[in-house]
Structure 1
């Protein structure tokens, strides 16, 4: 049992005005977190890598600290005098492009941030992990006690697993006052993930074929995920992990919901994941030739049919976390995205990738039918 120093008591932690340091503050979750912290009266510093990020952070009311997560002096400057550090910065992408950065940011960067916060004496450190460290749960709705190692479906999964199990947990054993949050699928206005990309295609009338409709995620609105981080800081127990995940929905179910909310037609052609997964290496070859969108990369195709699902009972019971209904949050997201859709159609590369994948899938289906006849 780890004995934590007295500075980590609630009495020491709750001193006003509260000061927080945030990494990843200009990201999807980070922007919502900073706005919520400032609305609660926190004084917020946030790591910034560019002038554009400086401007955005100042507009939200945060003080930018120029640097990056492998810049130790910048980290120490930002953390000085803070009661809590939120480490959200991460590399996220499916596909080969930029994959070399994954370990540098997700593993080494996480080690730098968490160790520096520990050494600086920050009373609470909130580290944003992900339920992707569990990998494909094969239909099982898991909780924080679940564990699964290699093989991994993506470089993101692998490097976040390393950060969780080889960086954060060992530091907790050494006495670091870390609390881990584990979001599932995050959606909302401004979402640039694979799901956000698919929703954009759908609303443009370009998602006529749905690959891997059985692929299932647990979804929570970005604003609720940000709230869960603050609740973890305020009510969470040091050394514990908290899954922040809403209801589980398959891609087939999700596109039906999008159709109901938008009045558009759901994809009529569904191609099972088992038919498409053998063509993942082909998409890997194409990645070296054209700039593919994430949803057509080798990793994305290989992940079709997977279930990334987990339950948030612990966060609900211990933190009082309660995500909004999926229908309510997705209605806001669809409305926002419809108002900001690009005026141009998807790129030729996207269209070519979709056509190649479809042709390969259809040829396979014909071949399988001939074998059975």
Structure 2
């Protein structure tokens, strides 16, 4: 297959690009800067020099292949608007094929027992736009797929290593409240394999991809050990004051049922869990 990957120089997109190429596919990867272009080439992919706001370039790249995997996102306040315009441009240019978009575990209902893909959170609040983003792909004329990763770890990058860096900078690794809320996890290379499996199958719909789950206190204990700092609790108000509203997600539960992705032929092959991964890379 000929696949266009947005975010191809990023954490998930890099693992995905390498996985797809190893499985014999051609990958064209979005690259916003010369450095990103070099990273994409280093994976063995062909760079498409543009950004998420270059709608004509996105449309051409999407129309030229067999499918798109959308893993890119801006970190700006207009993230929802940028995503809407970019995905609309790509979908509008495609005559067929498959489009996979990436949202996340917060799209599901907060729960300490596994929730299925249909058990979603109310479509309101700061991430209400994710419901619209998913519907845009699932209701399109192409084969639409949504992947909802939980806490992604592995290969020395991603959100878990940002937590380690933050703990090192703060001098303490903090969990919120009693820390007993739980999050599903997945190794980035296992996640990449799930994307590949979904591309290569006739699958449609939303899919949860996870290899296990752990409590926030266990997560931050592993983070503290990796950063060589103590571990302590703080309140949700203190966390939000320090890190903004996004901290509230670390106080929620996000345990995902993976029956659907396993039925599509995927199972975790690499991940051993966040604590073991951090110990092996410390």
TM bin (shorter chain)? 0.7 to 0.9
Secondary structure of the residue that 2:251 maps to in structure 1? Answer: coil
* 1:103 corresponds to: 80
The structure 2 residue matched to 1:147, chosen from 115, 120, 124, is 120
CA contact (8 A) 2:100 2:144 kept: yes
1:161 Cα offset (Å): 2.7
* 2:61 corresponds to: 78
- Separation in 2, partners of 1:304, 1:83: 37
Q: Which has the higher helix share?
A: 1
Task: Please tell me whether residue 47 in structure 1 is matched to residue 30 in structure 2.
Answer: yes
The structure 1 residue matched to 2:134, chosen from 164, 169, 176, is 164
Q: CA separation of 1:140/1:123 partners in 2, compared to 1, >3 Å: closer, same or farther? A: same
CA contact (8 A) 1:246 1:311 kept: no
* 1:178 corresponds to: 144
Task: Please tell me whether residue 33 in structure 1 is matched to residue 3 in structure 2.
Answer: no
1:227 Cα offset (Å): 0.7
- Separation in 2, partners of 1:263, 1:55: 30
CA contact (8 A) 2:149 2:210 kept: yes
Q: List per-residue Cα deviations over 1:231-255 (Å, max 9, x = no partner).
A: 0111242x32211122121111223
Q: CA separation of 1:61/1:145 partners in 2, compared to 1, >3 Å: closer, same or farther? A: same
* 1:331 corresponds to: 276
Q: CA separation of 1:68/1:209 partners in 2, compared to 1, >3 Å: closer, same or farther? A: closer
- Separation in 2, partners of 1:148, 1:211: 21
CA contact (8 A) 2:4 2:68 kept: yes
- Separation in 2, partners of 1:263, 1:85: 37
CA contact (8 A) 1:209 1:270 kept: yes
Task: Give the gaps of 5 or more residues in structure 2.
Answer: none
CA contact (8 A) 1:69 1:112 kept: no
Task: Give the gaps of 5 or more residues in structure 1.
Answer: 1-17, 93-97, 284-295, 339-373
How many residues matched?
A: 281
The structure 2 residue matched to 1:221, chosen from 169, 187, 211, is 187
Q: List per-residue Cα deviations over 1:116-140 (Å, max 9, x = no partner).
A: 3xxx324222222222212x51434
- Separation in 1, partners of 2:250, 2:22: 40
1:321 Cα offset (Å): 2.8
Q: CA separation of 1:313/1:159 partners in 2, compared to 1, >3 Å: closer, same or farther? A: same
Q: CA separation of 1:54/1:264 partners in 2, compared to 1, >3 Å: closer, same or farther? A: closer
- Separation in 1, partners of 2:6, 2:278: 25
The structure 1 residue matched to 2:89, chosen from 100, 112, 115, is 112
Superposition CA RMSD, Å: 2.7
1:78 Cα offset (Å): 1.9
Q: List per-residue Cα deviations over 1:43-67 (Å, max 9, x = no partner).
A: 2111111111111111211111122
Q: CA separation of 1:257/1:70 partners in 2, compared to 1, >3 Å: closer, same or farther? A: closer
Q: CA separation of 1:130/1:254 partners in 2, compared to 1, >3 Å: closer, same or farther? A: same
CA contact (8 A) 1:107 1:159 kept: no
Q: List per-residue Cα deviations over 1:317-342 (Å, max 9, x = no partner).
A: 22333254534x65344443x3xxxx
* 2:259 corresponds to: 313
1:159 Cα offset (Å): 2.8
What TM-score do the two structures reach when normalised by structure 2?
0.86
- Separation in 2, partners of 1:219, 1:233: 22
